[in-house]
Amino acid sequence: MNRVQVAPPRRSGFRPPTLQTLSEAVAANVAEIKARTRSTIMAVVKADGYGHGAVTVAKAAVAAGAGWLGTTSVAEASALRAAGLAVPILTWLHPCGIDAEAAAATRVDVAVGSVDELGVLLAQAASTAASAVRVHLHMDTGMSRGGCPRGQWDELTALARRGQQARRIRVVGVMGHLPLADRADPAANAPAVAGMREAWQAVRAAGLGSPLAHLAATSGTLTDRATHFGMVRVGAGLVGIDPSETVELHGASRLTAPIVHTAAVPAGTPVGYAGAYVTDRATHLSVLPVGYADGIPRECSRQAGVEIRGRRFPVVGRVSMDQIVIDTGAESFPAGTSATVFGPGGGATPTIHDWARWAGTIPHTIVTGLGPRVKRSVA
């Protein structure tokens, strides 16, 4: 029988495509936020900490003074508990419904935004939870994207009171969410702020004490003190994104990739699928092993580029699934040379804001879109 001879794997000297999270930048961003509010700070680390690693960002934020954490599900919160994070954690959205038993067992708070949802939680808590589930009543303050509509607040608070009397839940918070997330405009926030006050009064009037009220995300936190209430929920700001573009925050990650192939080519050489780019001079082309499967936006403008040894070079031709091509002109970089796709900024290094502009999107989608092949590291 013929056996195909396979060469033993060669140990590669290249550092693979890597996203490095900069813990000090997260801490500096928490400091910027602290300087602008007296309210408790919740570090929102959903979507794996906006692509930066939920545990990494959570630990850095808590060490810098965040008092709470926020995620979308009890399962995500349990991973934070398993990593040793002991501060209160609030979960909302609940893509698989609320597991009352797990919430009670891991001391994770759940937001409840409808009478139906609360009814299911109470039934579950009665049969499974060993202790009262900590609940935040989520009121719709103008978003129509989750949260209890104004017309049903009385029914929700009445049911919550019965659940609390039966010791199945304890109402510890009341939350809303601001529809305006990318502009400094206190006047536009005013209806939601008024709605939040009304929601809090309704909860008090139902005999549910004086729970913690929270409304603002990053934009409200940085631009409108009237939205702060007892706590602010900051996600984007932790990783250096200020959607309102009013504060210079610190970029908290660096994406690098090694050059894996370099070639000298003549003028008139088509590059990549469909030859969408043709070289206009004799030049050098280098390949980076990151493509749209790794989160490089397929649609990006001609300005897109990367940093190599302190200079910016353009991405040319179509972005492939696994790779992009860089035109380095007269420079010929050997395989293994590190390129910075984005970083905290300064010099020739593009930022996530640059990539967002080149792709016609927001920086959130750049950092949350990074694929699983990209290695993660922490600085």
Q: Does 88 bind ligand PLP (CB under 6 A)?
A: no
Burial (CB < 10 A; 0-12, 13-18, 19+), residue 144, is exposed
Catalytic residue check, 59: no
181 binds ligand PLP (CB under 6 A): yes
Q: Taking the complex as a whole, how short is the minimal distance between the CB of residue 192 and ligand PLP, in angstroms? A: 12
If the CB atoms of residues 31 and 166 are measured against ligand PLP, the closer one turns out to be: 31
3-state secondary structure 245-270: CCCCCCCCEEEEEECCEEEEECCCCE
Instruction: Check: CB of residue 253 under 8 Å from CB of residue 341.
Output: no
Residue 292 appears among annotated catalytic residues: no
Instruction: Output 181 or 260, the one with its CB closest to ligand PLP.
Output: 181
Q: Measuring CA to CA, how many Å separate 353 from each of 44, 80, 176, 251? A: 20, 28, 28, 9
Count other Cβ atoms within 10 Å, centred on residue 3: 5
CA angle 76, 79, 82 (to 5 degrees): 155
Other C-beta atoms lying within 10 Å of the C-beta of residue 284:
18
Smallest separation (angstroms) from ligand PLP to the CB of 356: 14
Residue 218's closest CA among 194, 253, 182?
182
- Residue 147 vs 344, nearer CB to ligand PLP: 147
316 counts as binding ligand PLP under rule CB under 6 A: no
Stretch in the footprint of ligand PLP (CB under 6 A) among 232-240, 259-267, 304-312, 355-363:
232-240
237 lies in the binding site for ligand PLP (CB under 6 A): yes
Among 163, 235, 258, 297, the residue binding ligand PLP under the rule CB under 6 A is 235
- Catalytic residue, candidates 46, 50, 277, 292: 46
Taking the complex as a whole, the smallest distance from the CB of residue 122 to ligand PLP amounts, in Å, to: 23
| Amino acid present at 339 | A
Please identify which residue in 26, 41, 132, 234 interacts with ligand PLP, judged by CB under 6 A.
Answer: 234
78 binds ligand PLP (CB under 6 A): no
| Among the listed residues 25, 37, 92, 306, the single contact to ligand PLP using CB under 6 A | 92
* Euclidean distance between CA atoms 237 and 70, whole angstroms: 14
44 binds ligand PLP (CB under 6 A): yes
Exactly one of 34, 50, 59, 273 is catalytic; name it.
273
- Distance between CA atoms of 367 and 54, rounded to whole angstroms? 13
CB of 99 closer than 8 Å to CB of 107: no
- Of the candidates 94, 168, 228, 233, which one interacts with ligand PLP according to CB under 6 A? 233
- Tell the smallest beta-carbon distance from residue 234 to ligand PLP (Å): 5
Judged by CB under 6 A, the chain residues 159 through 178 that form the site for ligand PLP are 177
From CA 264, how far away is CA 141, in angstroms rounded? 59
Ramachandran quadrant class, 20 (left: phi over 0; alpha: psi -120 to 50; beta: rest) = beta
Out of 60, 66, 206, 236, the only residue in the binding site for ligand PLP (CB under 6 A) is 236
Q: Note whether 255 binds ligand PLP by CB under 6 A.
A: no
Give the interface segment with ligand PLP, choosing from 102-110, 214-222, 289-297, 298-306 (CB under 6 A). 214-222
If residue 103 lies in a helix (H) or strand (E), which one and from where to where?
Answer: helix 100-105
> Is 353 among the residues that bind ligand PLP (CB under 6 A)?
no
Residue in the block written with tokens 């001391």: 107
59 versus 233: smaller Cβ distance to ligand PLP:
233
User: According to the binding rule CB under 6 A, does residue 217 interact with ligand PLP?
Assistant: yes
Binding residues with ligand PLP: total (CB under 6 A): 14
Q: Which is nearer to ligand PLP, 243 or 295 (CB)?
A: 243
Q: What angle do CA 358, 256, 361 make, to 5 degrees?
A: 20
> Rounded distance, CA 6 to CA 254, Å?
36
The binding site for ligand PLP (CB under 6 A) comprises: 44, 46, 92, 177, 181, 217-219, 233-237, 243
What residues are labeled active site? 46, 273
